[in-house]
Structure 1
């Protein structure tokens, strides 16, 4: 009862603060509703970026992989830091100079409007199939694991997952539909503070638990026992082989942090470039501690659970078993917030992409105009439809073979790196024509689908992504050489916001790279692994 009370109180507190902070905001304009009025500061951007990334998927999936394999899965978080540095230095300035509201906006200026529509549709399909449903499912699994709701109410696991998925989905929809981006970003920042505090408390109490009251004994146990799980240098048969860090994983992370609408929408709402870069730096600093939040609990679970039927329940079970009851409720609220933020971000970004990149241009082609108020109203209807679609899909993820986190990354390959390939070539070339981008996009998605669904190449899916990235790039360069644009692309600064960069960004970037290298040395045969 105490845990449930704590959960309700913290959840209501976040909602109240978000309401107070956004009260009086202009939500009747496109910029106000979709971009927070381009007024987001660095702290809100950084906290929101971090929490949107740290969804229930990560807590459930990464700790599951550590339990089943090793801390090699921390590569997703560690390589994110390098990707964030690249995005901050090279990609964000391009978007802000271009005055982009959505990341595909750049593609319209660089190629043509049809490419913008194609990419927007791919984003939409990816969000509805592979982003929002897994978030809802992971949140439902976490809740059931922490509170054993199936046992309390005498329901089957299947029925409980359905109820929880719809509960999380409905609350998340309310945030997204009625609050707009700023309400989402503010609640993200508040939950982000709680996430760091609560996330650090889980391994703290876990180490006390296995050390029978002694933190140092518990720490010594996870560093000296089951040491094969401490190796971040993934073997060739690992879900995350070390070689993939330098191929497909880097590309996936560059796409995630540099082109995903539901991530970049926060930074596109920055009041200036310096604020955006500071926000990205804050998110990078927070990512440094992600192994403590996402991997150490999985190591602790090795000393507690020996025969687990559904390893996706490792993290929520750990919370319920090792933490005081009042903190269980607090962590439930944090996991709830983490599930909400990714889900409602997906809704907001999906409606932004559809309304501004597909529906509004469609009306324009028909010589029809639509005002901001009507556009926002239709956007809310769309979000209701998308939310219901995701809520219907989510429970069926329970029947997917293989690791939950690995499934998400594999399916994302259909939507992520193909988009980044088009954007990358658009960034670095001036003459590649639209037809080159379209051919490369179809080629990439088709070939990736064949390697994952039809033919077994024997290669890790991240290596396949890297090969297809290079091949697709070559296709675009071929068109640029032999069928170039008649008028080369010339970027224009639309002077929407101040693009003066943050002067300390290089120093912070260097320190972050040193920390990443040191972390890998520690979790390797040169350090604690064997």
Structure 2
């Protein structure tokens, strides 16, 4: 690692000064009610919505994990980064139902579609899952990145970023989060994009790089018999996880809900889908470049997770290196800010307000701020636990998500597409599904102590992608069968919340919310996804 110099520190300082200016401006605006604090007053334009969606998604685990996947022969994981087409599903399919229902949170939507039981299950589970996965993994990865970039120890880097991010999230709420994320998205794209171009030039271009690592290395499609990434299971399970993450998870959907109307929200998701194509070029390809230079003896790193920061410090000139460092700090802070705000929203709106429905708006905002502080403290407590995690960070994340996504995806998809799905079917599927997901994680951890010929070992040992695909089918059958064997839901309950009950007036309003430009850009995004799938086919 080449240490940062004076110009680099000037670039980093400039970034933080601009960030502080945005936060001060937001705090100066009055935020006395929950709509202002948690959804930025529902008055955000498409550019900020799209940039916020992108910045929320891109965290330090991408820098550590996705670049590491490129440098460590795990290219099939790329499929999770070309899910721009799933982001389009959020805008074209799900968002009209969410905006029409006027909800703040995804659990709240489940209550409107089903009943309070499903809301409670999803609220509590989501908060626990955020703390155990998103917050802890982001803090750990962030500590690694910050300590490597700034030359400080892991603990100092991790705690400083958590406290700083928590501070502006508490004070500024959702408005501070989405506007700072817009700045962070711009810096991240410019900085990491510069590294990709300079890196490709350093290795002699794409074809020269391909010759060094071999064309087969660049193949994301493994045979159906591959023990790690069989392509049918990879395609199916990544889609299930994608629908859960992009279309039903509070962490992402909350950004689309801040839009002033369906038109701005949909355009925001289309813009977010365009930006979602960039991580392939911003992180994965730099990882492959780092591997190429290592194979040629021009670069050295011990662990694939070190590939991106080592490449950055050795290839970039002074000043630009500081800009990229600021971009990586931006990635860390935007992810943390998003999950802090989403957790406080879920706790305040779905738990505290349900228990105390007559609480004044100002007190709800204060409760949200306190909840954020508590979550920041829990995140810090988790640092030593996450410090023991292995280097396969990105794969670890996808494994956990492959187990928790199927029941939630099944309930939301069928809940919107099939009016016969009722509250009992949704509740049973969420409870059984989440218990089964927890059981699979435990069995995977203890399988070495189980009988190799036993049923429990077989369940814990099956490929995580294959398990995810079959688990989703089980959840679809469960929610359907339980619903058909129990009472028909009231039509008042499902009115305008499923495709089968949407009114002619709602259809007309939705049709008026887009034009040919929105359709054209969406088609271009789909074409770009297909192109990426083709160029990474090992030929």
With structure 1 as the length reference, what TM-score do the two structures score?
A: 0.90
Structure 1 equivalent of residue 67 of structure 2: 63
Q: How far apart in 1 are the matches of 2:195 and 2:227?
A: 26
Structure 1 equivalent of residue 535 of structure 2: 522
Contact 1:141 1:313 in 2 (8 A): no
Aligned pairs, how many? 503
State whether structure 2 residue 472 is matched by structure 1 residue 463: no
- Per-residue deviation, 1:490: 2.7
Structure 2 equivalent of residue 333 of structure 1: 326
Contact 1:46 1:280 in 2 (8 A): yes
Deviations 1:98-150 (A, max 9, x none): 1111112211111111211110111101111100111111122112222333x
Structure 1 equivalent of residue 451 of structure 2: none
Contact 1:122 1:415 in 2 (8 A): no
Deviates more, 1:407-416 or 1:31-40: 407-416
Contact 2:406 2:475 in 1 (8 A): no
State whether structure 2 residue 125 is matched by structure 1 residue 113: no
Contact 1:98 1:491 in 2 (8 A): no
Deviations 1:284-334 (A, max 9, x none): 111223211121111111123367433222111111111112122111111
- Per-residue deviation, 1:519: 1.8
Structure 2 equivalent of residue 378 of structure 1: 367
The one of 27, 33, 37 equivalent to 2:37 is 33
Structure 1 equivalent of residue 285 of structure 2: 296
Q: How far apart in 1 are the matches of 2:73 and 2:226?
A: 10
Deviates more, 1:89-98 or 1:442-451: 442-451
SS state at 2:372 partner: helix
State whether structure 2 residue 332 is matched by structure 1 residue 319: no
Structure 2 equivalent of residue 448 of structure 1: 437
SS state at 1:483 partner: coil
SS state at 1:295 partner: helix
State whether structure 2 residue 493 is matched by structure 1 residue 481: no
SS state at 1:278 partner: helix
- Per-residue deviation, 1:273: 0.7
Q: How far apart in 2 are the matches of 1:232 and 1:246?
A: 11
- Per-residue deviation, 1:31: 0.3
The one of 37, 40, 43 equivalent to 2:47 is 43
Q: How far apart in 2 are the matches of 1:125 and 1:23?
A: 29
Q: Any residues of structure 2 matched to 1:33-432 within 5 Å, and which?
A: 33-78=37-82, 80-149=83-152, 160-210=153-203, 217-227=204-214, 228-235=216-223, 236-237=225-226, 240-305=229-294, 308-364=301-357, 369-401=358-390, 403-432=392-421
Deviations 1:415-438 (A, max 9, x none): 333222221221122233322222
Q: How far apart in 2 are the matches of 1:70 and 1:229?
A: 9
Contact 1:72 1:241 in 2 (8 A): no
Gaps of at least 5 residues in structure 1 are 150-159, 211-216
Contact 1:56 1:138 in 2 (8 A): yes
With structure 2 as the length reference, what TM-score do the two structures score?
A: 0.88
SS state at 1:485 partner: coil
Q: How far apart in 1 are the matches of 2:325 and 2:222?
A: 31
The one of 5, 14, 23 equivalent to 2:10 is 5
SS state at 1:104 partner: helix
Q: How far apart in 1 are the matches of 2:174 and 2:329?
A: 18
Gaps of at least 5 residues in structure 2 are 444-456, 498-502
Contact 1:431 1:484 in 2 (8 A): no
Contact 2:139 2:383 in 1 (8 A): yes
Q: How far apart in 2 are the matches of 1:254 and 1:407?
A: 19
Structure 1 equivalent of residue 447 of structure 2: none
- Per-residue deviation, 1:70: 4.4
Contact 1:66 1:72 in 2 (8 A): no
Q: How far apart in 1 are the matches of 2:309 and 2:391?
A: 19
- Per-residue deviation, 1:26: 2.9
Contact 1:146 1:316 in 2 (8 A): yes
Question: Structure 1 70/413 Cα, relative in aligned 2: closer, same or farther at 3 Å?
Answer: closer
Q: How far apart in 2 are the matches of 1:65 and 1:238?
A: 17
Contact 1:203 1:293 in 2 (8 A): yes
Question: Structure 1 440/347 Cα, relative in aligned 2: closer, same or farther at 3 Å?
Answer: same
RMSD (Å) for aligned C-alpha atoms: 2.2
Question: Structure 1 413/71 Cα, relative in aligned 2: closer, same or farther at 3 Å?
Answer: closer
Question: Structure 1 394/415 Cα, relative in aligned 2: closer, same or farther at 3 Å?
Answer: farther
Structure 1 equivalent of residue 513 of structure 2: 501
- Per-residue deviation, 1:89: 1.2
